[in-house]
Structure 1
Amino acid sequence: MKKLTIIYWSNNGNVEVLASHIAKGAKDAGAEVLVKLVSEASVEDVTGADAVAFGSPSMDNNRIEQKEMQPFIDKFKLIPLNNKVTALFGSYGWDDGAFMNKWEIQMKDYEFNVIQKLTVNEAPTNEQLAQAEQMGKNLVK
């Protein structure tokens, strides 16, 4: 059984909704799933999983959340991850979602193998929720 860890930071609930649908997809595919707020997550939650998904809204200057999510991600700068299978998800409101491309570049620099991204404008549509579930399945194939 594959193990997926989903770690996220949510401000208005949109990222949390995506996290729950990613978890549902992975569970439907038979995986063991751990879902945590970034404030409760540990490095071992990432290193001990077969795959991981990170979620954050776009915040100031088209960046991921800076007080909790960015410092957590930075912990992996010097930890060998051997191309850990990863997905990134998030939401944006006032910008064009460019934060996701910046985030993907950083994650690849830290040896995460980003296989999928999902970015939604404000609240996810039903189609985007289905994409989130598929993301969960893809992560545990």
Structure 2
Amino acid sequence: MIHVVFFSQTGNTEEMAKAVTEGIQAAGGEAKMVSVSDISAADLAGDAVYALGCPAMGDEVLDEGEMEPFVEDLLGSVSGKKIGLFGSYDWGDGQWMRDWEARMTGAGAVMVAPPVICNNTPDEEGLANCKALGEALAKA
């Protein structure tokens, strides 16, 4: 089972999470999409592969209420894990995602594909990239 854990405020990142989940399933994998508020870092400790999604918030940072504490708790157990990152943004140039990817790889995580970012509502290309990320997770 591959968990697709996400935080979404406006629904854009949730839409991306659905596409990642569809990609996993299309590639023959089992997926479970779950809001970050409904899972703990300990729940993922035994998973070898998973996806994390969060939009850019404030000054291009992760959501500080739920996702940031979750990621902080997760950092101690990501070494050797194969993960995918995704999220949406409204301003800036995606720095939050570059920072997030650097944190995860710095802690030893292995990216299965480049992170997927979409400006506001994901378009067809963005959703296709999310599905491709899901397929890469299923094959990891």
Q: Is the 8 A contact 2:25 2:31 kept in 1?
A: yes
Q: In the alignment, residue 84 of structure 1 is paired with which amino acid? A: K
Flag as ranges the 4+ runs of structure 1 deviating above 4 A.
none
Tell me what 2:62 maps to: 64
1:32 to 1:48, Cα distance in 2 relative to 1, 3 A: farther
Correspondence list, 1:43-62, <5 A:
43-62=41-60
Q: In the alignment, residue 16 of structure 1 is paired with which amino acid? A: E
The answer as to 2:117 corresponding to 1:119 is yes
The answer as to 2:26 corresponding to 1:28 is yes
Tell me what 2:130 maps to: 132
Q: Is the 8 A contact 2:41 2:71 kept in 1?
A: no
Separation in 2 of the partners of 1:74 and 1:113?
17
Q: Which of the two has greater helix per residue?
A: 2
* Secondary structure, aligned partner of 2:76: coil
Correspondence list, 1:96-107, <5 A:
96-107=93-104
Amino-acid identity (%) = 31
Separation in 1 of the partners of 2:89 and 2:29?
29
Unaligned 5+ segments in structure 1 are none
Separation in 2 of the partners of 1:67 and 1:98?
19
| 1:82 to partner: Cα distance | 3.4
RMSD: 1.3
Unaligned 5+ segments in structure 2 are none
* Secondary structure, aligned partner of 2:16: helix
Q: Which of the two has greater strand per residue?
A: 1
Number of residue pairs matched by the alignment = 138
Q: Output one character per residue of 1:71-107: Cα deviation in whole Å (capped at 9) or x when no partner.
A: 001112333x332001110011022211100011111
Tell me what 1:108 maps to: 105
Tell me what 1:13 maps to: 11
* Secondary structure, aligned partner of 1:34: strand
Q: Please, what TM-score do these two structures have when normalized by structure 1?
A: 0.91
